[in-house]
Structure 1
Amino acid sequence: MTDKHELRATMRAERKRLAGLDPEAASRAAEQADALPAGDTVAVYRAIGSELDMDALSLALERAGRTLCLPVVVERDEAMLFRRWSPGEPLELDDAGIPAPLPLAGTLTPDLILTPLLAFDATGARLGQGGGYYDRTFAVVPHAIRIGFAYAGQEVERLEVEPHDIRLHGVLTEKGYRALP
């Protein structure tokens, strides 16, 4: 079995390859916004590197009347918090160096959390970047529906799950939305 460090490196390369092959994947995924589970407040993210870009989906969700928020790292070993955000509003780097809303934006608790990932499997297991931010956050917002946002090609046969790993409820790809067990 490949260790997580090697698997992350492999899946980063694969995600970068998929991004180069299909620059319209994010737009096609955004067309499926209506298929996402209900939830008035939706946490989106600002894509970094080859993560599937969230811009078109954020606009579609906002047009559908959903309130958006972005995750903010305020302490490296703690759960993230979420601040209200609309596309086009100013951002500043948080403690992890990720673009985040300004403190005056106000804190929200999301009903639905869209998360980037490196890999996922059919059981809802998710391989992230390794910082643990999303798993710590999922643990303190257990009612939120957890949805991976990824290229369909990021699905793997099986991921090893550790006790702190929290599974996804579904995944949205350029091929549509799929609920996971």
Structure 2
Amino acid sequence: MDLSIFLRLLLVLPNRYIYTNAVYKQRIHNIYIMNTKAKIRQELLVLRKNLSETWNEMFWSKLCDNLLGLIATLSGRSVCGYYPIKFEINMIYILAEIEKLGRYDIGLPRVVDKFRPLEFKLWRTNTPLEFNSNMGLHEPYQSQETIIPDLIMVPLLGFTRSCHRLGYGGGFYDRTLPHYPNAVSIGVAYSFQENNDIPTEPHDIPLFYIVTEAGIIRNSWS
């Protein structure tokens, strides 16, 4: 073999090995994160499903008071929530309480496309909703007025003390929150949903606040 070719191989092969090894390690890491998140999701879904009505009624009012107290300290005219699924906290009741204040436009999300950010539509307690059978949730009709949210209340399965959230894995809010860079994001949960073993990835966006019946967790930079 020509010496120059041999020397070039010595330079190229280690780089290719390092690259291949790095890619392999990244894939293993991604699989670990996906499996860990899937396991935690399942555990938290079971916990939330088995939550007793007594426990729910006992702490719901405290959570509602904490959330309304936080909203009162923040600027903004439009408050957007979500329609509850899978035994989530009933955000419709909370939005109805906010509507009674008479100071805010209320919005609910509508799925535009599986891979696009959510859009928010104006909502009132008497506004009819349609059922999205593909997503398994109720949402405003397309004909409803679109609003730009100042405050976005975000559904979650779990959260960390640093205000990272664990969702259902669809990535809707990972796409939606950057689409509204001026909006303040607020996770709404019960305190038992805190789990600091939730792994985070570079694309995971921490929320500004997490509100539970036990109090308000503020992101360090909010």
TM-score by length of 2: 0.75
Q: By how many angstroms is 1:19 displaced?
A: 5.3
Larger Rg over CA atoms = 2
Query: In the alignment, is the contact (CA less than 8 A) between 2:151 and 2:185 conserved in 1?
Result: yes
1:177 is paired with a residue of what secondary structure?
Answer: strand
Q: Which residue of 2 aligns with 1:83?
A: 121
**Letter matched to residue 81 of structure 1:** E
2:201 is paired with a residue of what secondary structure?
Answer: coil
Compare the two structures and name the one with the higher helix fraction. Answer: 2
Compare relative contact order (CA 8 Å, sep 6+) and give the higher one, 1 or 2: 1
RMSD over aligned Cα atoms = 1.8
Query: In the alignment, is the contact (CA less than 8 A) between 2:37 and 2:198 conserved in 1?
Result: no
**Letter matched to residue 170 of structure 1:** Y
Change (3 A) 1:156 1:143: same
Q: Which residue of 1 aligns with 2:155?
A: 116
Q: How far apart, in 2, do the equivalents of 1:169 and 1:79 lie?
A: 19
Alignment of 1:39 with 2:72, yes or no, is no
User: 1:48-83: CA deviations, max 9, x gaps?
Assistant: 121111133112211222111001101111111100
1:66 to 104, 116, 119: 104
Query: In the alignment, is the contact (CA less than 8 A) between 1:27 and 1:57 conserved in 2?
Result: no
> Number of matched residues?
181
1:27-176 equivalent positions in 2, closer than 5 A: 27-32=61-66, 33-36=68-71, 37-64=74-101, 65-94=103-132, 96-176=135-215
- Identity, % of aligned positions: 34
Change (3 A) 1:117 1:58: same
Q: By how many angstroms is 1:153 displaced?
A: 0.9
* Structure 2: gaps of 5 or more residues: 1-31
* Structure 1: gaps of 5 or more residues: none
TM-score by length of 1: 0.91
Q: How far apart, in 2, do the equivalents of 1:88 and 1:19 lie?
A: 29
Query: In the alignment, is the contact (CA less than 8 A) between 2:81 and 2:107 conserved in 1?
Result: yes
Q: How far apart, in 2, do the equivalents of 1:18 and 1:148 lie?
A: 19
Query: In the alignment, is the contact (CA less than 8 A) between 1:45 and 1:70 conserved in 2?
Result: yes
Residues 2-11 or 113-122, more deviating: 2-11
Q: Which residue of 2 aligns with 1:11?
A: 44
